[in-house]
Amino acid sequence: MSQAAQIKSVQFESVPSIEIDYMELDNIIANEFNNDKENLIMILQAIQRRYNFLPRPALAYLSTKLDVPYSQIYGVATFYSTFSLEPRGRNIISICLGTACHVRGGERVREKIEGALNLCDGETTEDQRFTLETVRCIGCCSLGPVIKINEDTHGHISSDQVEKILDPYE
Amino acid sequence: MKIQSVKDLEQIRQDYSQRLYYPEAVKVNIGMASCGIAAGAKASFDKAIQEFPNGNGIDISQTGCIGFCEVEPLVEILGPGKPRVMYKNITEDKILETIQDYNENKFNKKWILGQMRDPRSLLEDDIENPLAGVTPLEEIPFLEEIPFYHKQVKIALRNCGYIDPDSIEEFIAKDGYFAFLKALHDMEPKEIIQQVKASGLRGRGGGGFPAGIKWETCARHNGDRYIICNADEGDPGAYMDRSILEGDPHSVLEGMLIAALGIGSNQGFIYVRNEYPLAVKRLVSAIKAAVKYGLLGDNIAGSDFNFNIKISTGAGAFVCGESTALMASLEGQVGRPRAKYVHTVEKGFRQNPSNLNNVETYANVPAILLKGADNFAKMGTTHSKGTKVFSLVGKIKNTGLVEVPMGISLKDIVFDIGGGVPRKKKFKAVQTGGPSGGCIPEQFLNLGVDFDELTKVGSIMGSGGMIVMDQDTCMVDIARYFLDFLKEESCGQCNPCREGITAMLDILTDICTGNGKEGDIELLEELGMMIQKFSLCGLGTSAPNPVLTTILYFRDEYEAHIKDKKCPSGVCKPLFHYEIDEEACNGCTLCAKRCPEEAITGEKKAPHEMEQEKCIKCGICYDACKFDAVLIK
C-alpha cells in the first residue's frame, strides 16, 4: 500500500461508521450461507456487495455469529485482493494488467488514469467518484488493453481516450 | 422429468437435434461469452430480440464462444435447407442487416467468416451430417479451410459456440451425459479409471500429472472422498477454462460425475474465480438443470449413486490455484499452501482424500469414455496425449482460443493459426505457462508443443496461455512484470519466495530504470536458483522462470540496459527517447495531432520535429505513425 493510501485508511477509521442492518446480516449468514464457517469468503463477498466495502462492525458481528476469531476474519479479509476495508468509490475502475494487456500498452493506460484522477492503485478519489483497482486478466485478451468500469468493459483503449471514457461515470 | 436410462436421454437427443440441426425457422446463434459480450454481442442480441420478439420466423439464441475472439461478435445463422453461415464483427448496427442478408440469400462476403461444412462434434458420428443435402455457397470458404480453424481439433471445446450453455437439452442433443450413464450402468469404478489411464490424459491446469493415476491413488485412500474442480484460472492471458464454463458448463459437471463414480465420492466442489461472474451464473444454472433431470442429487438416474456439487467463489488470490491453498480457501481460510509430504489425494479438503483437476481436464473425460481411450491416445506425442487448448494472445493477428493436437509446432500455432505478428513487426518470443513459465525465442519455433518439450527449453505448458511478443516488447520489462505480479501474489509464509522475489524485483527495477550494475545478471541467476530450490510451493519454485529464460535467450537486452543504459525496444522510459526520422517523415501531421503534450511541431508535408523536454514518452506518436518515421533511440 502506498503511503497516501495508508494515511487515508487511518482517516477512514475515524469516520463515523455506517449503519449496519443486523437483521439483513443475519439473513445473509444464516439463510443464504447456513451459518457455515466454510462459506466465510462468500459471506464476506455478500457483505461487500451490500456495503461496497467490509465495515468493521459487520466483521465483528460475523465473528461471533460464526464462532470464528476476529483475527482470522481480518486475515481472510486482508489476504484476498477482492476485499476492501475502506469505503470505495461510486464507480470501480478495474484496469486489466494481464500479460496480453501489458504487452499491448496497459501500463500506459494505467499511468494516464492515475494522472487524470490523481490517485494510485487501490485508492479512491476524494469525491468518492472513482476507485482504481488493477486486476490480472479478465479474459478479454482480444480487446486489450482493457478496462472495466463497474460492469462495462471498454476494449482497445489508447491512453488518449481515457478522459472521454471516464466522463460519463458520475 | 427425471432421467432413468439411456433411452430417456436418447429421446431428448432426438427432440432437440431438430433445434440444433434442422430448425423450422431461421435460427440466429449469437456468441455470448464474456469476450463476445465485451465486444458488443449483448447489444446485438438485445437489438435482435427487440426486432423479433415472438419469433416471426426468426429464432434468436445465445451460444458460447467459438474461439475466434479477434472477429467477435460472431453470429451464426442457419435456416431450413440453407447453409450455415458464420458472420464476423456483427455489432449492434449490423445485426438486423445481417439477418436480412441471410434471409434474402445475398451472403455479403465482407461480413462472412465462413460457412459450416459439418456442424457435428467429434462424438456424433452416429448421426448423418445435417448439411449433407445442402448446396454450399460458392466463393465462401468453409470454416475448416480458414487458417485459424484448419489445424484445430476440438475435444474440450467441442460444444463451445455450438449450443446454448443454459440449455441442458441442447447439451444432451450433442451426446451429453451419455458417457456418464454408460459409466454408471455399464462400468465398474476400476474400468473407468483404467480408461482414463489408458487415454494418457494429463492434468491441463499446469502440472501435467496423469489424471488416471491421480484418480487411482485417491480411490485407494479411505474417508469421505471429494471431487474438486479447479476453476481458479489465474494465469494472466489464459482464459480457456472461462470459455468452457461459459460455453459448455455441463461437460465439466459430467466429467466430475464420472470422476465421482470412478473414485467413489458423493460431494463435489467447483472453486471458481470471482472475476468470472458469467461463468458462475452459467454453472449455477447448469447445476439446477442437472438436478431437475435427476442427473445430480440423490439416487441419480434411478441408481443408489448420490452426488452433489457446490460452487465456491475465490476472492482474487493467484496462489489459490495451488492445490493445498485452494483447499484451504474452500474451507473458508486464508489460501496458504502447505508442504505436500502427504498429498491431497490422501489428506486434502477437510483432511479427507480429495481429487483435484481443472476445468479442461474434466471437460475431456466424457469424450474419452464415449469415443474410447484409444481414440484420444491416438492424438499427440508419446507422453502427452490428446489435444490442448491454447489462448493465443498478445501481439498476434488472430487472437483467440485454439485447440490443437499435442505435438504441433509453435510455428504452426503462432504463424499458421495465429496469422503472425500484426503491422509487419518482427516476432520476438512467445511466453507460455503464465508467471511460472518462460519466454521461448524464435530459434525454437519448430518445437513440437507438449508438456516435456516446453520444459526442456525452460518454460512449461502451464494452463495454456501463449502470449506472443514482438520487437516492441522489452524482455527485461516482461521479467520485471511477472516478478511484480508474483511479489503481489506470494502468500508470504516462506522466506525464499517472499524475500527472494522482492530482491530479484528490486534488481530488475534498477535495471529498467537505468541503475543496473555489472554483476546484476549473475546475482539474478543465483537468486533464481535459490528460490527454485528452497521455496515451499509451486508458485515459488517456478517464480524465477520468466527471469532465467529471458536471461538465457535475451542476455543482450539485459546487457544493453545495464552497460549502454538503453532499452532497445522502447519500453523502459528512462532508457530511450523518440526521434523523428527526417527522411521517412512525409509531414502527414498525424503524430502532431495526437500528441497530448504538443511536443511535435511541423508544417504539413514537411518533416516534423520533436521537443524532447515536452515528450512524456507515451508512445502515441510511435503507434500512430504509418511510415515508421518515429524512431526509438
First to last CA, chain B: 71
Say what the pLDDT of residue B82 is: 93
**Which residues does chain A have within 8 Å of residue B491's beta carbon, measured at their own beta carbons?**
79
Domain end point (choices B445, B470, B495): B470
CB atoms within 10 A of CB A94: 18
Among chain A residues, CA nearest to B468: A100
Say what the pLDDT of residue B123 is: 86
Among chain A residues, CA nearest to B471: A103
**Helices and strands counted in chain A (H then E):** 8, 4
Say what the pLDDT of residue B55 is: 67
Q: Where are the domains of chain A?
A: 3-79, 91-166
Taking a C-beta distance cutoff of 8 angstroms, is the pair A5, A120 a contact?
A: yes
pTM of full prediction above 0.80: yes
Nearest Cβ partner of A76 from B72, B275, B334?
B334
Say what the pLDDT of residue B596 is: 85
Say what the pLDDT of residue B342 is: 94
Q: Are residues B497 and B555 in the same domain?
A: yes
Cβ within 8 Å, pair A38-B38: no
Say what the pLDDT of residue B54 is: 74
Hey, is the C-beta of A144 within 8 angstroms of any chain B C-beta? yes
Q: Are residues B434 and B368 in the same domain?
A: no
Say what the pLDDT of residue A1 is: 43
What is the nearest CA distance from B74 to chain A, expressed in angstroms? 13
Cβ within 8 Å, pair B618-A39: no
Hey, is the C-beta of A129 within 8 angstroms of any chain B C-beta? no
Region B24-44: mean pLDDT is 93
Among chain A residues, CA nearest to B43: A152
Q: Are residues B312 and B443 in the same domain?
A: no
Q: Look at residue B514 and tell me whether its pLDDT is greater than 80.
A: yes
Q: Please provide residue B318's backbone torsions phi and psi, each rounded to the nearest 5 degrees.
A: -60, -35
Cβ within 8 Å, pair B237-A99: yes
Domain end point (choices B517, B532, B562): B562
Q: Look at residue B19 and tell me whether its pLDDT is greater than 90.
A: no
Region B608-631: mean pLDDT is 91
CATH of the domain at B446: 3.10.20.600
Among chain B residues, CA nearest to A81: B316
Taking a C-beta distance cutoff of 8 angstroms, is the pair B165, B286 a contact?
A: yes
A59 alpha-carbon distance from chain centroid: 17
**Which residues does chain B have within 8 Å of residue A108's beta carbon, measured at their own beta carbons?**
618-619
Nearest Cβ partner of B39 from A68, A82, A143?
A143
Q: Look at residue A14 and tell me whether its pLDDT is greater than 60.
A: no
Q: Look at residue B12 and tell me whether its pLDDT is greater than 50.
A: yes
The answer to whether position B539 is within a domain reads yes
Q: Are residues B232 and B313 in the same domain?
A: yes
Best B65, B284, B333, B598 member to test A by mutation, with max A CBs in 10 Å, is B333
User: How many CB pairs lie under 8 A apart between chains A and B?
Assistant: 146
CATH of the domain at B622: 3.30.70.20
Domain tally for chain B? Answer: 5
Strand B75-78 relative to strand B26-31, pairing: antiparallel
Region B47-51: mean pLDDT is 93
At B310-333, the pLDDT tens digits run: 999 999 899 999 999 999 999 999
Average pLDDT of chain B to the nearest whole number? 94
Cβ within 8 Å, pair B478-A135: no
Q: Look at residue A8 and tell me whether its pLDDT is greater than 50.
A: no
The answer to whether position B362 is within a domain reads yes
Nearest Cβ partner of B620 from A39, A104, A160?
A160
Taking a C-beta distance cutoff of 8 angstroms, is the pair B524, B325 a contact?
A: no
Best A137, A153, A156, A165 member to test B by mutation, with max B CBs in 10 Å, is A137
CATH of domain A91-166: 3.40.30.10
Burial of B407 (0-12, 13-18, 19+ CB in 10 A): middle
What is the nearest CA distance from A46 to chain B, expressed in angstroms? 11
What is the nearest CA distance from B362 to chain A, expressed in angstroms? 20
Domain end point (choices B531, B562, B593): B562
Q: Are residues B297 and B189 in the same domain?
A: yes
Hey, is the C-beta of A44 within 8 angstroms of any chain B C-beta? yes
Q: Look at residue A5 and tell me whether its pLDDT is greater than 50.
A: no
Q: Look at residue A51 and tell me whether its pLDDT is greater than 70.
A: yes
Domain of residue B433 covers: 387-470
Sign of CA dihedral B313, B318, B323, B328: negative
**Complex ipTM, two decimals?**
0.91
Q: Look at residue B548 and tell me whether its pLDDT is greater than 50.
A: yes
Q: Are residues B228 and B331 in the same domain?
A: yes
Q: Are residues B65 and B114 in the same domain?
A: yes
DSSP string, A24-55: HHHIIIIIITTT-GGGHHHHHHHHHHHHSS--
Among chain A residues, CA nearest to B312: A42
Cβ within 8 Å, pair B332-A159: no
**Which residues does chain B have within 8 Å of residue A146's beta carbon, measured at their own beta carbons?**
38
At B468-495, the pLDDT tens digits run: 999 999 999 999 999 999 999 999 999 9
Q: Look at residue B370 and tell me whether its pLDDT is greater than 70.
A: yes
Q: Are residues B480 and B463 in the same domain?
A: no
CATH of the domain at B541: 1.20.1440.230
Region B202-209: mean pLDDT is 92
Say what the pLDDT of residue A17 is: 62
Q: Are residues B223 and B326 in the same domain?
A: yes
Q: Are residues B222 and B329 in the same domain?
A: yes
DSSP string, B437-477: SEEEEGGGTT-B-SHHHHHHTT---TT-EEEEEETT--HHH
DSSP string, B250-318: HHHHHHHHHHHHHHT-SEEEEEE-TT-HHHHHHHHHHHHHHHHTTSSBSSGGGSS--BEEEEEE--S-G
Q: Are residues B330 and B198 in the same domain?
A: yes
Q: Are residues B187 and B300 in the same domain?
A: yes
Among chain B residues, CA nearest to A148: B38
CB atoms within 10 A of CB B430: 30
